[in-house]
Structure 1
């Protein structure tokens, strides 16, 4: 039986992982330093935590760092002397690994995995799944994973082991995508946060501006979210069709007003690295 040391087990993400791992065949050592986190796991999942991560990682097959990006360097380096060679260290985001914040130990396996979250266009039928926007509970989501560091002769076996753990912690999982850490950084923060979250934030500001100019909030919300659905379906090839000439003309005129000509520079390596430095 694979033994996992889950660091940050009572945090926001750690609690989600603890809940899913409780339904798996993995043996889990839950580590949580805060009283509130330990109490949360006890109340919600009847799980007893320990506060000493140094004891938990000794002899573990895998160590999951379910802690904020800003703490990964400090925590991973503090635990490193107690982690045996060959152990898999799993990060849930590419930021800290990309920034070089993990210990310089070539005898460890570094695996990075991140959820895509349930897609807007899906086949969910139950209310619980339809309202599981984050994933890892009722709705199926896809995931991305990267094997950052491993001995060449154990490459495939270690990727399979890491991916199996990723499927367990993010369940239910649909597609799994194998990427590099650099590609994962393009996806986040590049695609998902710098671009998507920013543009969605602007869309919310636009809705608020329409409300400020006299349209009722419910009307503006219904109109925007409905158009996001059909326009998104056409743009992302979920729905056959084409925009009207008027819509295409609005896009042609609107894009220069909203977007800089060089906006794709956000995906350049230096820009990604700068963004990750700010995050970590």
Structure 2
């Protein structure tokens, strides 16, 4: 018989995605959802009845915390006395574990699993996959996983569950919790999301200066496509001399000389402190 999973936040934005994918597996799942709207959605769309916290934790082998980062510390401490030794606690982000918000229970297994989301170079023939930007539905995506504490043998179970909840899967990467924190919030949010926001603001500025909005959007997104393909070696190629010259003089105009320090442990820790 497959392991029992207690899924907290089953009717939330992320929890609902997990619930839908877990229904396709052989895992036994007990669903916990505090919001009336979330419980109604689970019942109306997936015919799932939620249970109490005590019922969910009774005999649970794995507890998935599909709740906001700010709630993981309190929730994990509240339910800790009710979890048997050997239970796997899975979080969907490295922030709270990295910040030390999980209970000091050396007899528990702590596992972190986070999706990479479908890559921008998506050539899937299925139009639904090409429009699945988040992942977990139609487009293949890679995943990252970390066994924070517990026996080595526990990793296979955690990775298998991660492959189910984030399916369909492209690749599975095993990392440490600290490496996952470098990727998020460091790489994906502090750097990538920030620079993309700057690009959007730059596009809006060209519109303010007279460029038609549709032309500016087509021009920027088209160049993001080809420039990304060259930079990330998706295709063979090189930038023109003019483009290289623009980068040479543009980067110091746009970026601080010490921007790379956003990856220093202190910077990552402070970013996570703000998040959690």
Sort the TM-score into its range (normalised by shorter chain): over 0.9
Q: Tell me, yes or no, if the aligned pair for 2:88 and 2:109 is still in contact at 8 Å.
A: yes
TM-score (norm 2): 0.99
Provide the rounded CA distance (Å) in 2 between the counterparts of 1:229 and 1:78. Answer: 47
Match of 1:273 in 2: 269
Three-state SS of the structure 1 residue aligned to 2:121 is coil
| Partner Cα separation in structure 2 for residue 187 and residue 31 of structure 1 | 29
> What is the CA–CA distance in structure 2 between the aligned matches of 1:242 and 1:142, rounded to whole Å?
27
* 1:148 counterpart SS class: strand
Q: Which residue of 2 aligns with 1:97?
A: 97
Matches within 5 A, 1:22-171: 22-50=23-51, 52-150=52-150, 154-155=151-152, 157-171=153-167
What SS class does the counterpart of residue 240 from structure 1 fall into? Answer: coil
Map residues 124-273 of structure 1 onto 2, 5 A cutoff.
Answer: 124-150=124-150, 154-155=151-152, 157-273=153-269
Give deviations 1:186-232, integer Å, cap 9, x for gaps.
00000000000000000000000000000000000000000000000
Q: Show structure 1 runs of 5+ residues with no match.
A: none
Alignment match, 1:13: 14
Gaps of 5+ in 2: none
Runs (4+) of structure 1 moved beyond 2 Å? Answer: none
Deviation at 1:161, TM superposition (A): 0.4
Show the counterpart of 2:4.
3
Q: TM-score when scaled to structure 1?
A: 0.97
Pairwise CA distance, 1:124: 1.2
Structure 2 contact 123–130 (Cα < 8 Å) conserved: no
Take 1:87 and 1:79, find their aligned partners in 2: how far apart are those partners? Answer: 12
Structure 1 residue 165, shift from structure 2 partner: 0.2
Q: Secondary structure of 1:175's match?
A: strand
Q: Deviations over 1:23-61 (max 9, x none)?
A: 1110100000111100011111111112x2233112111
